[in-house]
Structure 1
Amino acid sequence: MQRLTKNQLHDLKSLHQKKGREEQGRYLIEGKKIVEEALDSTFVEMDCVLHTASFDTSIIPDSINSFHVSPAEMRRISTLKSPQEVIAVCRIPAFNSPKGNRILCLDGIQDPGNLGSILRIVDWFGIPEVLLSKGSVDCFNPKTVQASMGSIFRIAIHYTELEVFLKQTNLPIYGAVLEGASIQDLVWPPEGILVIGSESTGISPSVMPLLHNRITIPRFGNAESLNAAIACGILCAKWSGI
C-alpha cells in the first residue's frame, strides 16, 4: 500500500485552484459514486485513487495507482467540508472542436455550481456536446464536478473561441434572449446549436449577430430573469420535443 510524500500532498492540495489544475493537467473528484462513474466513462483518464482505511478498494482496478491516506491527509486534500472516503485524480483531456450536430454553447457562464447543474441537464436530455467560451468558468472546478453528479464524465466538453466556431458552422443557431420569439411557437429541429449567455449579462454583443433565431421563455410573472441552469432545463425540454 503506497503512502503520499509531502511533495505529492502539496501537489494534490494545489488542485483546488485553477492555476494548479492547469499546471499539472489534473483535477480532483470526490466520493464513491462519482469515482465509480468516472471508472465507467470513456472520457476519463484516471491518474490515481486516494482512500482511507475504511474504504472498500475492490472497485479500484489493479492498473490504477492507489494511495492509503490518513483522515488528516484526506481533510487537506478534500475540497468538501465533510471529506469522503475516496478521492480520484483525473487527467484533464485535450479540448477539440465539436463534431456533432446537437450542441449546447455556453457564453461566459461564471458560476461553477450553475455549470455543474447544466451538465446534469444536458446529460438527462441526451445532448452529447457542450461548448464553452474561453471566458467561462473552468468545468473541472471542484464545485462544478460535484454539482454535475457524474454527468461531466458522459459529455464531450470543449473550450474554444465561440465567435469563430459559430461563424464556421452550417447548423442553425438558436440564442436564448429576454426579448425574442416565444418557444411556445417554435418548431425546433433536433439538429442545431443552442446558445445560453452568462448569468449577469446574457449573450455577448459579438455573438448576438451570429444567431439565426432569438428565442425566449415566456414570462407570466414579475421575475426579471431566470437562473441559467433553470433556463437551460426549460429550453432543453422544448428542444427534446417535450
Structure 2
Amino acid sequence: MISKSLSKYIQSLHQKKYRQEHGAFLVEGAIDVLELCASDYQMELLFVTEPFYKENAGLLDKQRVRMEMVSADDLKRVGTLVVNEAALAVAKTKENRFLVAETDEFVLVLDDIRDPGNLGTILRIADWYGIRKLICSQSTADVYNPKVISASKGSFTRVEWYYCDLTTYLTAVSKPVFGAFLAGENVHSQDFGKSGYLVMGNEANGISFEVEKLVSKRITIPRYGQAESLNVGIATAIICDNLRRTETAQGGAK
C-alpha cells in the first residue's frame, strides 16, 4: 500500500505548479513505464503490481530506484488513469535545453497547441517519422502533463523539446520555415528539401500573426470534401508523411 505522504506527493504531480516545484512528473501504465525504464530519464519512485513485476522482472530489477509492490487499486487511487493494472513511476523532469535543427534534420514548431491529447499525439507522430526535436511556444501544453505522457505512448522518451518565445527563436534561424495554413502551396507537390522547421498552429486559431510573419513558405493540405478543418495531430501526420516522401524521392531516406 502506498503511504499517505507518498500518495499526497504523487497526486500533487497531477498539477503543473507542483511538477515544476518538485521537478518531477508521472508515468503510468505498462507501455510508458517500460519505455521509461529503457530511457535515460532518472526515476525517483516505481510502483508495480505483482503480475507486471513477474512479466518484466529482468528489466525492473536493473532499475536503480525505490520499487514497491502495490495493488491495481492503489495505482488507480493515486494516478490519473481509469484503469492501470501495471505500474506507476515518478521521474525527474529534464532541463529546458536549447535545440536547433542540424544538417539534414527537420524540427517541429508548435505554436499554442493547448490540448494535452493533441500534444501527446504529436510526440508520437514525431517519433514515428524520426523527428527528434520540438520547439514549443510558452502557451503550448505542458509536455509533462500526465495526459500528454499517456497519449505519447512512450515517445516522450525519444523526442526532445524546448519551450521558448517563438518569434525570438525563429528570427534567429537560417533554415526554411514551413507553416501550415488553410491557404498555401499544396503539400502533395511541395519540395521540402532536406532540413527546416515545420510550424503547426493552434487548433482553433492557426498560426499566430507574429509567427506567421517569420514563415518563409506557406503550405496547405488540400480539401476534397466538406469538413471545416483537420485535427492538428492528423494534419501534422499528413505533412510529416509528405515531408518524408519528398526525402525518399530525393534518395535521402533508406
Q: Same fold (TM over 0.5)?
A: yes
The residue identity in structure 1 corresponding to 2:115 is D
CA RMSD of aligned residues (A): 1.5
> What whole-Å deviation, never above 9, does each CA across 1:135-162 have from its counterpart, x for those lacking one?
0111111111111111111011111111
What residue is the counterpart of 2:101 in the other structure?
A: 100
- Alpha-carbon separation, structure 1, partners of 2:71 and 2:223: 52
- Deviation, 1:5, is 3.4
In the alignment, the residues of structure 2 paired with residue 203 and residue 114 of structure 1 have an alpha-carbon distance, to the nearest angstrom, of: 16
SS in 2 for 1:206: helix
Where does 1:150-169 land on structure 2 (aligned, <5 Å)? 150-169=154-173
* Structure 2: tracts of 5 or more residues without a match: 247-254
- Structure 1 position 127, deviation (Å): 0.7
Alignment partners' CA distance in 2, 1:141 and 1:5: 23
User: Residues of 2 paired with 1:7 and 1:33: CA distance?
Assistant: 27
Distance, in Å, in 2 between the alignment partners of 1:203 and 1:8 is 41
Instruction: Give the superposition deviation at 1:53.
Output: 3.7
| Structure 1 stretches lacking a partner, 5+ long | none
2:30 is equivalent to residue 32 of structure 1:
yes
Q: 2:81 — aligned with what?
A: 80
The count of aligned residue pairs is 239
Deviation at 1:18, TM superposition (A): 1.3
Q: 1:239 to 1:11 in 2, by over 3 A?
A: same
Contact 2:37 2:63 in 1 (8 A): no
Tell me the SS of whatever aligns to 1:240: helix
- Structure 1 window deviating more from structure 2 (25-34 vs 229-238): it is 25-34
2:142 counterpart of 1:114:
no
- What SS is found at the alignment partner of 1:181? strand
1:142, 1:160 → 2: CA distance? Answer: 21
Which of 198, 202, 207 is the equivalent residue of 2:202? Answer: 198
The percent of aligned pairs where both chains have the same amino acid is: 37
The answer to whether the 8 A contact 2:111-2:136 is kept is yes
For the pair 1:69 / 2:66, whether they are aligned, the reply is: no
Using the TM superposition, give the Cα deviation of residue 52 of structure 1 relative to its aligned residue in structure 2, in angstroms: 2.9
Cα 1:62–1:225, aligned 2, differ >3 Å: closer, same or farther?
Answer: closer
Q: Which amino acid aligns with 1:46?
A: M
CA distance in 2, matches of 1:62, 1:219: 49
Structure 1 Cα separation of the partners of residues 70 and 34 of structure 2 = 19
Q: Name the CA shift for 1:49/1:187 in 2 (closer, same or farther; >3 Å).
A: same
**What is the TM-score when the length of structure 1 is the normalising length?**
0.93
CA distance, structure 2, for counterparts of residue 221 and residue 75 of structure 1: 43
Shift of 1:186: 1.3
Q: What is the rounded CA distance, in whole Å, between the counterparts of 2:31 and 2:63 in structure 1? A: 19
Query: What's the CA shift string for 1:199-230, capped at 9, x where partnerless?
Result: 01110111010000011111111111110000
On the 8 A contact 2:181/2:207 being kept in 1, the answer is yes
CA shift, 1:72, in A, is: 4.1
Contact 1:190 1:240 in 2 (8 A): no
Matched, 1:173 2:173: no
- 1:214 is matched with which residue? 218
Partner of 2:11: 13
2:241 maps to 1:240:
no
